[in-house]
Structures are given as structure tokens and as C-alpha cells.
Chain A
Amino acid sequence: MSSVRVLVGTRKGAFILTSDGKREKWEVSGPHFAGWEMYHLKGSPSDPNRIYASQTSGWFGQIVQRSDDGGKTWHQPGTPAGQPPEPGPPKSASNKFAYDAAAAPLTTHQWYDGTQHPWEFKRVWHLEPSLTDSDTVYAGVEDAAIFRSTDGGENWQELPGLRGHGTGPKWQPGAGGMCLHTIILDPSNPKRMWIAISAAGAFRTDDGGKSWKPINRGLKSQYIPDPNAEIGHCVHHIAMNPKRPGVLFMQKHWDVMRSDDAGDNWKEVSGNLPTDFGFVIDVHAHEPETIYVLPIKSDSEHFVHEGKLRVFRSKSGGNEWEPLTKGLPQKDCYVNVLRDAMAVDSLDKCGIYFGTTGGQVYASADAGDSWNPIVRDLPAVLSVEVQTLK
């Protein structure tokens, strides 16, 4: 029988929630890495027991953790726990993210006050394992850049063509930092990948990461000097149904957008949403025109609208939205749901999951019609991913 494993990153540790395919009874494991900020955990599609995790701290920096047994045990790649190191210089540095300044000289980027600021590595926001090779994994980092490991996370190399694209001095940090937070791999074309940066916008590579082009035509952001600029948009998240590559859905700072041509052009599909500010967006696993967002009141008030926790679903690819409220608090609720904190499983019916800054993780086993909390009192949730296990 199928089962699901929900990987939850929080401000103070990671948690793993497991259930059978009914998704009614849950086991909770954790906290793993108690006390650390766990920005993101994600399992390998080609080997579900392989899970990568980004562990970070203002004191001790960035750590990458890996599990090879579905999250039961963890180690820093290249330095197995309990084993004495081999003599000689280290063969791995799983927590070393050095920009490739030889290939793309380190420039500056725009700071909050409009001045230029040096590029500095701070943390890994997102880990995206390869669709076909469990030892290959991509990392989206702050200050914005993309790295790749081909040895299971033991060593990381930047794909410098993105940072060297030439528009770097126009990139600027959003409120959370200048982060590369979204990486989408194209299952139909191994050379194609999409990424998004707050606040620079969306980019695409068609040559395996050597070169990148901004894909922001159609985005309109009133808060930047040129609302239609090629660069500078605060893209919060992008989602794609892997069965329909090239059709992308975006939650921008304000505005929900869609593209039917792999990001070359975007159009707004906010429609009747009560507010189109938000962070998460996701697509139904089996119905590629069914999408989910969770509107947040505004960029000044980062909590849900009218004190009601409502997921909005569109079955028409946008524009026409219905609130999903059954099982969710409809009064006195003032949580936020951050950009990587929604995910879908691939069971039938499709399961939807999201985590809040109040520490609740909600699950729907019926495509959003009804919801139940798996846990209510975790630390603030930073990310939610789901593995559907056969």
C-alpha cells in the first residue's frame, strides 16, 4: 500500500510526518537538528530514501545533511558520524559554498537603500535533487546563486552563468534576503531548468545551466521604478505540474500569474481572489489546471486575510477561485504560510499539505475539499515537502 512522508523544516528543527495512503493517522518524528533553522528538506525522486536537508545558523553557518534511510539517520556528506577521519587533506566540504569568481567575477548587487553591496553567501534556501540521479542535487542560495553537487552533497560547484548573467547589480534583496528560492527541473528536457530570485525575477536555462535568460515579460510590479522592467520583480514562488512541462504558475509579491510558453510570457490570473499577495502556489498532481494559493493580507500585514485561514483553488488554471475552508480556522487566525511551505502528493485523491508560521501543518486527503491538522504546535514552519512512497 502507498504511504506518504511529509518533510517539514522549521525555525527550530526538522520533523518527519508519515502516514499510510489514507492519510488519517500520522506518526511524528523529530525534532531532528533541534534548535537549528531547517530551511528545506527534499527527497530524491530516483531514490526516496535519499533526503537532503539545509541546516543553517547565524552562529555556525551552513550545514548540509543527508539521509540514506528515509530520514531515520543523518550525516554531513563525506563525514559519516562516528567514523574517524581519514588522514590527509579533506576530500569533501559539504558546507562550503564558494562562488566561482574565476568564471564569473563577484560583482555587487543593489542594497535596500539603493547603494551597491558585495555578494556574500549566507545560507541555502532550497535543495532540488535531480529527477534521475540521487547523487546530483541543486542548491539555491542567498546571496542569489545556484550550486550543484554530483557526489551526493559532498562538494558543491556554482553554475556561474546565472550570477554572471550581467544583470546582477540590479538584483536586490526582498525582506527575507536576496535568495534563490525556487528550482524547477524539466522532466521532458534535462537541459532546461527554471529558477526564481527575490527580488530579481524568474530565469530559465536551456543548456543545462551554462547560460540563463530572464523570463519576466508580462510581470508588472508597481513598487519598482519601471513596473515592467526585465529585472527586479519579487517572485515569491513558481509551481509546475511535471506532467505538463512549460506551463508555469507564479505567486508574485502581488499578483498570481501563469505562463503557457515556459515563462516567455506571463499573464495575470488573480481573478476574484480577495487579495493576490501571498507566498505559496502549487498544482494538483493529476489535474494540471487545478491550482492552489493561500492569500496573505498584504506586504505590510503578513498574515491571512480577515483572520481566516483559507486555501483558494482554481480548477480553470486561474481567474476563477473558490475558498477551501472546511477544517481550517475561520476566525482569529493570523498566521503566514511561507513560500516553500506547500506541497502535493501524487495519490488519488491528490493530497495537499501546508505549514504555517504558527506551527501547524495541515493536510487534505481530498484535493482541498477538507483539511485536518497533522500537528498543531511545531516551531514556525519554513518548508513542507511530500514524498509519495509505493
Chain B
Amino acid sequence: MVRVTLPYHLRTLAHAEAEVTLEVSNPVTQRSVLDALESRYPMLRGAIRDHDTQQRRAFLRFFACEEDLSHESPDALLPEAVASGKEPFIVIGAIAGG
């Protein structure tokens, strides 16, 4: 199981806890994790990635294992610790604005 941590406003949209667990089949990548997340919580479609381009929204970042993975290829393998559920895949909102 893959663990995903969501920022506050996405939790309220999804009616979910801060951390959700998802079944993700191999390979475990940003794309497969986000596909699984949006499949389980369809109200998040478009709120993390653009509907058509699937590009990450500009003010969101992806972290795991103390690394910023935001600019990695969406099809790159995530760290083994994320795939095994030892570490969460973290979706975080940029600290900007008021």
C-alpha cells in the first residue's frame, strides 16, 4: 500500500484524512500514484493536475523521503520506501499568499 499525504484543502474536498492509503500496481510512479488517488477520490481530478495536460498545478509540489520530486518525470519510479509504504508521498501546497 502506498501512503499519500494531502494538504488541508484537498482533504476537505476529498472528505479524507490527512493521510490516505492506496493500492497502486507496479510500477509505482507519480503518475500511477496520482491516477490511483484520483480514481479513489474523483473530486480531486483537476485540483492537483490539469485535466488535459496532466501537468502539476503550479502551486503544488511533490515530496518524498526528504526529496523534492516535483520536477521529476511523472513516469520515473518513486523511491522504494514510498512503494513499500514505509514513507509517504507528500502533496504540499506552496507557502504563498495570505
Contact = CB atoms under 8 A, between A and B. Distances in A.
Contact of B9 (A59, A62, A90): A59
A348 to B, nearest CB: 41
Contacts of B97: 58
Interface stretch (A76-84, A136-144, A358-366): A76-84
A354 B59 CA distance: 33
Contacts of B60: 59-60
Interface residues of B, number: 25
A60 B13 contact: yes
B52 interface: yes
Given A59-B94, A82-B15, A96 B46 contact: yes
B13 A96 contact: no
B84 to A, nearest CB: 25
Interface stretch (B23-31, B35-43, B62-70, B73-81): B35-43
B42 A79 contact: yes
A189 to B, nearest CB: 35
Interface in B48-66: 48, 51-52, 57, 59-60
A57 interface: yes
B47 interface: yes
A110 B8 CA distance: 37
Interface string A63-81: 1000000000000101101
Main secondary structure of the interface of A (DSSP, over half): loop
Nearest to A91: B42
A60 B51 contact: no
B51 A93 contact: yes
Contacts of B57: 59-61
Most buried by A among B7, B52, B59: B59
A76 B9 contact: no
A85 interface: yes
B5 to A, nearest CB: 15
B15 A59 contact: no
Contact of B47 (A33, A34, A61, A84): A61
B85 to A, nearest CB: 21
A21 interface: no
Nearest to B48: A60
Q: Which interface residue of A33, A36, A59, A82 has the most chain B CB atoms within 10 A?
A: A59
Nearest to A77: B43
A59 B51 contact: no
A95 interface: yes
Query: Which 10 residue pairs are nearest across A and B when measured between Cβ atoms?
Result: A60-B47, A59-B59, A79-B43, A95-B46, A96-B51, A76-B43, A59-B93, A85-B42, A79-B42, A81-B15
Interface of A: 33-36, 57-63, 76, 78-79, 81-82, 84-85, 90, 93, 95-96, 98
Interface of B: 7-10, 12-13, 15, 39-43, 45-48, 51-52, 57, 59-60, 93-94, 96-97
